[in-house]
């Protein structure tokens, strides 16, 4: 199931509420990659039983935010080249395919421009908004692109990777601020509105250079730092 933000009142069970609160923290980068999420500490913090914490952690595993490691239990999902490639290949299949369908049908891209305008407004209100708010606005732009295809199955498939993409983007937080992200997506929507293969190429460049390449560079920096510490 897709987790709603913790402020949503419609969450019906204690595990859902705990999972949503932890999700918000993860998407804000509060728990670094590899952090162990200890059941006993979480149970005390949220004032619930450990069975509730286990159920909440299972929900986070389903959303690819947490993994279970042998002898360690639940940990924040690691950043690996394989994971980056799998997530961004998945994004390309969905987003580029959806855009081609939308363009062929002459779909209205006004919702995409509106999502970019909301991203720009966020950047104007604060040069340093919460990372969770910034990635939510960024995600809304790409969700609008997928939604333009008018295919509920494709949109549902995209929903399943949104939180994982947002978690991955916490690793490139130093490389993007709100103003830069808004400017990049203003340029993107202008190129999308040109239509044809130029639009598809623009989206492909955004996913590859603005996403995959930035994450792979962050991974290399982390690996270099780990090697230096190991010397």
pLDDT, one tens digit per residue, over 6-47 is 544 555 899 999 999 999 999 998 998 889 999 999 999 999
Which CATH code fits 81-230? 1.20.120.530
pLDDT at residue 178 tops 70: yes
C-alpha span between 146 and 140 (Å, rounded): 10
How high is the mean pLDDT of the chain? 91
C-alpha span between 66 and 85 (Å, rounded): 18
The reported pLDDT for the residue numbered 2 is 58
The reported pLDDT for the residue numbered 9 is 52
pTM of the model: 0.87
Dump pLDDT digits (tens) for 61-92: 999 999 988 888 899 988 899 999 999 999 99
Provide the 10 A C-beta neighbour count for residue 28: 16
Record the tokens describing residue 230, joined without a space.
């190991």
Backbone angles phi, psi at 123, to 5 degrees: -65, -35
C-alpha span between 13 and 52 (Å, rounded): 9
Residues 183-211, mean pLDDT to the nearest whole number:
95
The reported pLDDT for the residue numbered 229 is 74
The reported pLDDT for the residue numbered 137 is 96
Report the first-to-last Cα separation within the chain, whole angstroms: 43
Closest CA to 109 of 135, 145, 75, 73: 145
Which residues belong to CATH 1.20.120.530 in the chain? 81-230
Dump pLDDT digits (tens) for 135-145: 999 999 999 99
**pLDDT-based confidence at 127, cuts 50/70/90?**
confident
What's the alpha-carbon Rg for the chain, to the nearest Å?
A: 19
Which residues belong to CATH 1.10.10.10 in the chain? 14-76
**pLDDT-based confidence at 49, cuts 50/70/90?**
very high
Provide the b/e sequence for 47-72 (b: ≥16 CB within 10 Å): ebeeebbebbbebbeebbbbbeeeee
CATH topology for 14-76? Arc Repressor Mutant, subunit A (1.10.10)
pLDDT at residue 1 tops 70: no
Residues 46-57, mean pLDDT to the nearest whole number:
95
Residues 111-115, mean pLDDT to the nearest whole number:
97
Beta-ladder partners of 73? 69
Backbone angles phi, psi at 149, to 5 degrees: -70, -20
% of the chain beyond a pLDDT of 90:
73
C-alpha span between 146 and 165 (Å, rounded): 15
Record the tokens describing residue 69, joined without a space.
């490691």
């Amino acid at each position: 199931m897709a987790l709603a933000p913790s402020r949503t009142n419609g969450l019906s069970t204690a595990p859902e509420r705990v999972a949503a609160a932890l999700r918000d923290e993860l998407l804000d980068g509060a728990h670094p990659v590899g952090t162990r999420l200890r059941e006993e500490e979480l149970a005390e913090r949220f004032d619930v039983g450990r069975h509730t914490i286990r159920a909440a952690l299972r929900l986070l595993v389903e959303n690819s935010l947490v993994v279970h490691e042998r002898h360690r239990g639940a940990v924040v999902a690691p950043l690996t080249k394989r994971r980056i490639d799998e997530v961004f290949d998945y994004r390309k299949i969905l987003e580029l395919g959806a855009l081609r369908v939308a363009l062929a049908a002459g779909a209205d891209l006004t919702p995409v421009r509106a999502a970019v305008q909301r991203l720009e407004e966020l950047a104007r209100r604060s040069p340093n908004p919460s990372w969770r708010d910034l990635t939510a606005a960024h995600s809304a732009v790409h969700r609008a692109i997928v939604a333009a295809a008018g295919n509920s199955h494709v949109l549902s498939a995209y929903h399943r990777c949104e939180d994982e993409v947002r978690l991955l983007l916490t690793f490139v937080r130093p490389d993007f601020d709100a103003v830069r992200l808004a400017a990049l997506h203003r340029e993107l929507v202008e190129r999308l509105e040109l239509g044809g293969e130029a639009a598809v190429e623009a989206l492909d460049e955004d996913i590859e250079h603005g996403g995959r390449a930035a994450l792979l560079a962050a991974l290399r920096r982390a690996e270099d730092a780990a090697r230096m510490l190991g010397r």
